[in-house]
Amino acid sequence: MDFGLTEEQQMVQDMARNFAEKEIAPFVEEDEKNHYYRREILKKMGELDLLGWSLPEEYGGNGMGWMEGCIALYEISKVHTSWRLSISGNNWGPAMTINEYGTEEQKQKYIPGLLDGSAVGSFAMTEPNTGSDVASMKTFAEDKGDHWLINGTKTWISGGHTSDTGLLYAVTEKGAGAKGISCFIIDYNNTPGVTRIPINEKVGMWSAPTSELIFENAVVPKENLLGPLNKGFYICMWQLNNTRMGCATGAAALSRACLDGAVQYAQERIQFGKPIGKYQMIQAQIAEMILEDEAAKNLVYRAAWLKDNKLPSQQATSIAKLAGCNAAVHAANLAMKIYGSYGYSNEYPCGRWLRDCKQFETLEGTSNMHQMIIANIELGYAPNR
C-alpha cells in the first residue's frame, strides 16, 4: 500500500490548509465566544470546490473522491472542529444521498446549491426519545393524497435552524418498525408548519449550530419523498456510513491539533532551566498522542480508500470513527495536563479541545454502537456493506 500523497492530493491538502488558516483561523476565538456560525465561510468553501467530493461534476461535484475529501476535511478540522460539520451536512449527507436515491429532477434541484455553498444542508433522524434506536422514531408522515402531513419533533440536529435543504426521516407505516420509515427532502424556507429552535446550551461545538425541529402539520409535496416508500431506514444506514467519515476525519484532526499544540508548548515552556519537552514524562505523553493520532489518521485513509474502490467499508468506517474518537479524547486530556494551569485558562485552546472532543463519543453513533458494529461484522452476525 502506498502511503504517499499524489501531486493532486498534495495540492488539495495545501489549498485546504491555506483556506483554513486564512478564512477560519482568524475568527475561531471570536466565533467561539459568541457561539457564531459564519455562513459566508460555507459559500467560500463551495467556491473552492471543498463541498463536492465523490459527486458527479454535472451536479457540481469536483471530480475527486473520498481520499481527497478526507485530506481536505482533516486540514479544516485541525483549525476549528465546528467546521467539519459543513462537509458532512452538505456533501456527504443530503447531496450524496439525493444523488444515490433521488430522481433526476431532485438531483438537479437540490444538489448544486449544496455543493456551491449557496444552500446549507442537514439531516434529521434523532428525536427526544430516539437516539441509537433509529427504528423507534415517532415523527409521522401521513399520506394526504396530494401531499404529506408531518408531525413530530427532531432534536440535536446539526445545522437545523440554519438549513435550507434537509433530509427528514419519518414513520410512514405505523407499527412496522424499520420497515415503516421513509426519507423526505425538506425545503425549510418554503415549508409551513416547521418551528426551528436553536440549542445554545451545549458543552462544546459552539460555532456549529444545533437545533430542535418541531413539525406541526407541516405540508411536504408528494414529490419530496426520497427513494422508495418505507425504505428510509435503509437509506438512513447507507447515509450514516458516509457521514460517519466526517466524524472519523474530524476526530483524527482534533487529535492532531492537540498534539501540535502540546509539542509547541512543551518546547516553549521552561521549568527547572530547560523546556518541559526535555522531561521523559512529557515525552511519554507526547509519544502516546503520536501513536494514537497516526493510527486514527491512517484508519481514516483506509476507509476512504475502500470507499473510492467501491469495496465494503462499513466496518472500516466504524473502526476509523471509534479510533478517532478515542484518540481525540485522550489527546485533549493529555494536552490539558501538558499545558498545566495555563491549559485551564481561556488564553489557550485546551478547554475548547476538551469540550469539542466529547461530542465524538455520541455523534452519529455512540462509541458503544460502533463497538457493536465492528464486532458483529467480524463475528459474521451482520454483513459488511
Backbone φ and ψ for 154, nearest 5 degrees, come out as -115, 150
Residue in the structure block whose three cell numbers are 419519518:
170
Distance CA 119, CA 115 (A): 8
Q: Which amino acid is at 139?
A: T
Q: Which of 23, 127, 212, 364 is catalytic?
A: 364
Q: Which residues of 109-140 are buried (b: 16+ CB within 10 A; e: fewer)?
A: bbbbbbbbbebbbbbbbbbeebbeebeebebb
Distance CA 126, CA 160 (A): 12
Specify whether the CB–CB gap between 39 and 46 falls below 8 A.
no
364 counts as catalytic: yes
Residue 7, Cβ density class (10 Å: 0-12 exposed, 13-18 middle, ≥19 buried) = exposed
Distance CA 249, CA 233 (A): 25
Distance CA 349, CA 105 (A): 45
Residue 3, Cβ density class (10 Å: 0-12 exposed, 13-18 middle, ≥19 buried) = exposed
Q: Sign of torsion, CA 162 166 167 170?
A: positive
Residue in the structure block whose three cell numbers are 491539533:
257
Which of 324, 329, 354 lies closest to 339, judged by CA? 354
The greatest distance separating any two alpha carbons of the chain, rounded to the nearest whole angstrom, comes to 79
Q: Which amino acid is at 149?
A: L
Give CA separation, 305 vs 24, 165, 208, 302, 372, in Å.
28, 29, 28, 5, 23
Q: Which residues are catalytic?
A: 364
